[in-house]
Structure 1
Amino acid sequence: MHIRSLMLGAAAIAGALATPAQAKQGDVLIRLRGIMVAPNEKSGSILPAFPGEKVSVDNAVTPELDFTYMATDHIGFELIAATTKHSASGRTGTTGSLGKLASTWVLPPTLTAQYHFLPDGKIRPYVGAGVNYTVFYNEKASGALEGAVGDTKVHMSDSFGLAGQAGVDIQLNDRMFLNLDVKYIDIDTTTRLSTTAAGVQKVRVHLDPFVFGVGVGFKL
């Protein structure tokens, strides 16, 4: 009888250890993801000198850190921190022949309110919506552009927009989980190119990137 009791106790302890950690009210979740920022850009013309000539923006991959505070078992608030570097290139005509026109670093802190559907489950999907403020910094003209028009100063206006997301947490052990996440962020900017030979040129770009992420998370 004593041996049976010990076996039952050991089984209970093993079961408890195997039980997935649950995202509960008051928990703080930390995720470390690798993300790809893929602009879904729509560009206006480079005006006034190059009507009809537009720009494209490349993808970027970077690590990202985010924090989620669970206000209730189902409602969480996530803040992400990451920065990426992107290049803008001409598509056609004169600017297209130059290729890369400018580069910039992008800092897009995004706050979303999330609804977690199955906080007690091993697989926990969620959706979210929120706001984003994007800062463009360290903007630089390319060597090809400055070789064609002389010294060029680049300025990109900051952006405020909405964001949406969907994702899932998959429990790996009592504290760690795998995370898959995708976001859509509304980012618009006006780029101002102040050049020696061509004067001031402006182009309006709707970047609107998808942000695809995969990583691991921990419950504090």
Structure 2
Amino acid sequence: MKTAKVSKAGILALAAAAGLAALPAAAQEAGDIQVKVMATGVLPDGKIKSVDLDLVGLPAGTQTEANDNVVPTVAIEYFVAPSFSIETICCVTQHDVDGVDGAAGTELVADGLLLPATVTGKFHLNAGGVSPYLGAGVAYFIWLDDEPGATAVALGADDFSLSDEFGVVLQAGIDVPVSESFLVSVDAKRYFIDTTATWFANGTPVIQTEHQLDPWVISAGVGFRF
């Protein structure tokens, strides 16, 4: 049986390739921009915190919840320093609010279209190219559209509004570089924001409730560094 011979040049080439493969991807630098394209689950609460006006006689123990949604998002991030960046996200998510305790099976809000304008500051804990991070920031929830649900319409509601509100957001995640310019990312945010819901009949408010939104926003996707 013949034994394969490996030349000195071949050994050096293999060693060089192994060494390159073992090197971590370049860390981010001040002035870098990252753009992430992600799939995002938006998981709001939606429960009633208080009933401020009730001219129709809501059933005793009425409670509500908002449905979850999955949407595409884009995150744009600017590195002020290698370990600190500022990020904003762009997405629109749609939710219904349905009755549960005391009002099970009712639809009170239909197709609430939300733009969660968000800016966070993020501290990156670089670890051999892999970059876990923690962040915090502010958010302004803008309702682009909102309609009374089928049950509310049947009770006489002909208009509806959800108030735009400021709140805070906490964030944690990890970026895993695949190359100098490409990465995969997992991100979690928790918002703390309420909204006021008002149902109208002939221009007169007939129900007004305070709702706890406080959504979890969980994302996973890919990113590109420039």
Residue aligning to 1:131: 138
Q: Secondary structure at the match of 1:122?
A: coil
**Once the two structures are superposed, what CA deviation does each residue of 1:103-141 show, in whole Å capped at 9, x if it has no partner?**
2001001100000011x6331100001100110121012
> Which one of the candidate residues 193, 197, 207 is aligned to 1:201?
207
Aligned counterpart, 1:116: 124
1:36 and 1:213 in contact (8 A); partners too: yes
1:166 aligns to 2:172 (yes or no)? yes
Partner of residue 65, structure 2:
56
Q: Which runs of 4+ in 1 moved over 6 A?
A: none
> Could you tell me how far 1:98 is from its partner in structure 2?
4.9
Richer in helix (by share): 1
| Partner residue, 1:86 | 95
Amino acid at match of 1:106: L
Contact 1:66 1:79 in 2 (8 A): yes
> 2:113 corresponds to which residue?
105
Q: Is the 8 A contact 2:45 2:65 kept in 1?
A: no
Alpha-carbon deviation of 1:18?
Answer: 6.0
Deviations 1:176-197 (A, max 9, x none): 111000001112100000035x
Gaps (5+ residues) in structure 2?
Answer: 1-7
Change (3 A) 1:21 1:155: same
CA RMSD of aligned residues (A): 2.7
Shift of 1:35: 0.7
Higher mean displacement: 134-143 or 64-73: 134-143
Question: In the superposition, relative to structure 1, how do residues 191 and 123 fare at CA in structure 2: closer, same or farther (>3 Å)?
Answer: same
The alignment covers a number of residue pairs equal to: 214
The answer (yes or no) to whether the contact 2:24–2:128 under 8 Å persists in 1 is no
Displacement of 1:101 in angstroms is: 1.4
> What residue is the counterpart of 1:70 in the other structure?
79
Answer yes or no: is the 8 Å Cα contact 2:198–2:205 preserved in 1.
no
**Which entry has the higher C-alpha Rg, 1 or 2?**
2
Give aligned-pair identity as a percent: 29
Deviations along 1:132-171, whole A, 9 cap, x unmatched?
A: 011012101223331x223520100001011110000011
- 45-54 vs 153-162, which moves further: 45-54
